[in-house]
Structure 1
């Protein structure tokens, strides 16, 4: 193969690598912004739009780069990308870790958080034009691409033209392809590979933090490989003769003398990123812990709470975080008894803490069990509840339970973990329990069972992926699987704190055919100060009239707090005007909350 073909092949390999990185940067930023701000569709759409806009601006301005130094500008671009992309990632994390003064407008934070997308897109816009010019400039013998690429391209071209001939009038064009066409083709191939590798390997196996450093390492290595292969640099020998940096076989230089400082920076970045990637598990864990600890502490007044992450694991569906929170504020602790306690979060939403794990499940299970019969003939469906605690409460009533949860990995983890076993007492071994690892909506579409009680122990509506569980179609499926006297019970966000969510939620439940509601709170003295506090809000929904809650016939928990439950009555489900129902086919994003 001639030197020209070898050099062209090297440039096309670089095209593949940089396009791979460029596409995956877009995915990483989209997912990071989703984690930080919620709303998968919103974040991905805005990120993709900003990225391609910036890509276009960069490509348009690439003509203003010095045509005598395409190679040097390409090297500078890769070094800048290697430095800027991780820095932008850390900037977004930092914005969501520090306490931002209330005087700072949210719109300003929104804009700053998306600047890394714009900068990376702008720099990536330089890459293809520069590579195209270099490929065209090296076409000294009239052959733009290596022979093997020609053969592969000819076969694909013949096949494609044959397919086009089914619908269009075609005429196969012979002759060489321009540098633009082959560079674009390699760019698209790199983008496809980036998407597949990110979705199947990088994100599920490594996570976001190691992935951003893997990409930056690839950019830095690409920059070094390019300057090493195409550089005109030479080292003085002992006999004062110049020697090429990479030997006498180096092709005609594309890169002049790049600043030594920039080369040193590139080498330092490469070494640093290689160290992070080699120890990616430690780096991921430590950086995640620092961010999560600060984020949780920021939910309390300054200096009031200290947080330490004790364990975290990412399943296929969620990030499971265990932490210990310690009261460090002045005065009595208003949040829990004692100085420290353990808590659990799934993603950004807190799921349970030692101080209220029981009272939450008292509200979810023990209050509605005062409205239905107890015994094996009573059939209960639990959607969610992979920690098995709700099952433990139901076991006390000897009812028959069907349990549906999507995350089998999480359920297996909580079976034997001491933290969870303390609360569920091996409830997964209950002899009247049938557990299915699947999506709740899909389960209801496939089963013919009917239930006296359906308990929704599902995550909060913080992410687009959960829109289905808050949709008219899902609630309608629940209603269709209720017995004549059956009801659905779910926890709910406070209407005072999340009014837009509440209105969309209630309208959606009403549109699904539920006409009556019984709202109530779970109660407990969680800080042992002698005062009973409200813990969690719940709703029982029914498609028709139901008997009121009877304290005299209620469970032990209801009788313990009889003064809180003696006046609980069913009411008509309200209808809010101008508030759209959330549907799978026409989502209302007001149902999502920003926690």
Structure 2
């Protein structure tokens, strides 16, 4: 094989590795988009992988028809991947904002299948081209496949540690598409003598490069305007962290926090939620010196805890350090939480709550579970029998646990499954719910090793909503929310505990909230 052909074959291997990196980044990007826009990360990543691999299979099958002008075919494919993949995230936000639920899923899944098909076309064409210039077919196949698989690993790592945290979803799509264009132009230059319409391809490639570069520079701002339509109030802050998308909105003094599109609080009524979460267990606990808060990175639960003089140590465990930094440094959030993190009694730990409880060696008088609803596999483990058993094992005698437990009205079976799961640990439970205008009717489960006597609750700190006299009414549930759950045929539903092995709560949650 001549030196010129050897150089060309090496470039083919490099091209296969680079486009494989781009392909895997697009694949995981689509999974992340599906998780953020459509919810249920495990479901979306499963569908993404399935559709992408199906597309690759279709592309490999169709590649049998591409036997001539292989370089031109490869360049056309790369141009197509760059254009469709580059604008995928940008357009998905637009579809979600203007066409609504259902259309976004159809758009995303179609995009995954199309990009997967184009990706499946790439490698067989490169293998044929390597064979055409003199590389033995067994060697060309092995080397191109090696470049492909190695590129897949690199692409996944780049997305996790570079692209998503540094550039966000929209800009990442444009940047990866630009790499596809550069590879296409590089291959075009390498095989320029074989291209019959060199000038046309060069102009198209240059035009796409400029278009995608403009998207990388300004597309995120335009996508932000699409995203603004998804929220009723103006967005005043947005950030894509390593763990989640944080959004703050504000309208006429009402500050709202959203994590991955889910409302966490409204400043107009959050005190109802946090007073109930904190003061009921604090009032009943025999001691309240050592307090543990799981979640609560906004600092609002801390604000209520700090109304008591008893606590000596307050440990807050929140996975995302950026959320806590925002709660500390954002003037509006800091004002709302009354600079709760400045209290010297507060110790913040950035760790997964499950891992923290597994490794904890201390005991707590009050444990507050202020975590997002169990709408995916990651959060589900924080609503399992195993997790609640860990809480029980680190609860001092006479201690109290309070768990936010979603809505007993909108997700009745989910609420009572949480209560049943906690009860399976051997702890006693008591149920509370109240109306929070921004959320609707919301529920909590109080748990203790000892029997719970709500008549002993005495709210003796300053509150805006909660009072001692109000407590008994919070334990009363209507017939349509009281835990007597029946099927359509009238038979009673037997609740089963939610466990790591059988995470039955996710499907129930998704079904319950589908229409809200």
**Residues 420-453 of structure 1 deviation map (CA, whole Å, 9 limit, x = unaligned):** 2212223223344333332222222233333332
**In structure 2, distance between residues paired with 1:432 and 1:573:** 39
Structure with the largest fraction of helix: 2
Within the candidate set 381, 390, 395, 2:306 is matched to 395
Q: Structure 1's 137 and 519: CA in aligned 2 closer, same or farther, altered over 3 A?
A: same
Assess if the C-alpha contact under 8 Å between 2:87 and 2:174 holds in 1: no
**In structure 1, distance between residues paired with 2:358 and 2:466:** 39
Q: Structure 1 length normalisation: TM-score? A: 0.76
Deviation of 1:213 (Å): 0.6
Within the candidate set 294, 301, 305, 1:383 is matched to 294
**In structure 1, distance between residues paired with 2:347 and 2:397:** 23
Aligned to 2:402: 489
Within the candidate set 195, 200, 203, 1:264 is matched to 203
**In structure 2, distance between residues paired with 1:431 and 1:500:** 41
Aligned to 2:386: 473
Q: Structure 1's 552 and 207: CA in aligned 2 closer, same or farther, altered over 3 A?
A: closer
Aligned to 1:318: 244
Q: Structure 1's 120 and 222: CA in aligned 2 closer, same or farther, altered over 3 A?
A: same
User: Following superposition of structure 1 onto structure 2, how do residues 91-490 of structure 1 map, counting pairs within 5 Å?
Assistant: 91-100=91-100, 106=102, 110-139=105-134, 177-232=138-193, 253=194, 255-257=195-197, 260=200, 263-277=202-216, 279=217, 283-284=219-220, 286-297=221-232, 307-325=233-251, 339-372=252-285, 378-400=289-311, 401-490=314-403
What is the aligned length? 498
Deviation of 1:111 (Å): 3.8
**In structure 2, distance between residues paired with 1:514 and 1:288:** 48
Give the gaps of 5 or more residues in structure 2: 486-491
SS in structure 2 of the partner of residue 582 of structure 1 = coil
Aligned to 2:90: 90
Q: What is the root-mean-square deviation in Å for CA atoms of aligned residues?
A: 3.0
SS in structure 2 of the partner of residue 124 of structure 1 = helix
**Residues 92-135 of structure 1 deviation map (CA, whole Å, 9 limit, x = unaligned):** 3233222548xxxx5x7644430001000111111111111111
Deviation of 1:347 (Å): 1.8
Q: Structure 1's 580 and 48: CA in aligned 2 closer, same or farther, altered over 3 A?
A: farther
Deviation of 1:205 (Å): 1.6
**Residues 514-568 of structure 1 deviation map (CA, whole Å, 9 limit, x = unaligned):** 3422313266xx79xxxxx977433322344211245666555499655532445
**In structure 2, distance between residues paired with 1:454 and 1:466:** 18
**In structure 1, distance between residues paired with 2:14 and 2:164:** 24
Q: Structure 1's 569 and 350: CA in aligned 2 closer, same or farther, altered over 3 A?
A: closer
Structure ID, larger Rg: 1
Aligned to 1:590: 507
SS in structure 2 of the partner of residue 178 of structure 1 = helix
Q: Structure 1's 196 and 446: CA in aligned 2 closer, same or farther, altered over 3 A?
A: closer
Deviation of 1:480 (Å): 1.8
**Residues 41-63 of structure 1 deviation map (CA, whole Å, 9 limit, x = unaligned):** 21111111111111011111111
**In structure 1, distance between residues paired with 2:316 and 2:332:** 21
SS in structure 2 of the partner of residue 96 of structure 1 = helix
**In structure 2, distance between residues paired with 1:358 and 1:578:** 35
SS in structure 1 of the partner of residue 268 of structure 2 = coil
Aligned to 2:28: 27
Deviation of 1:359 (Å): 2.5
Aligned to 1:16: 17
**In structure 2, distance between residues paired with 1:316 and 1:268:** 33
Q: Structure 2 length normalisation: TM-score? A: 0.87
**In structure 2, distance between residues paired with 1:507 and 1:18:** 50
**In structure 1, distance between residues paired with 2:23 and 2:35:** 19
**In structure 1, distance between residues paired with 2:62 and 2:199:** 23
Is structure 2 residue 447 aligned with structure 1 residue 541? yes
SS in structure 2 of the partner of residue 586 of structure 1 = coil
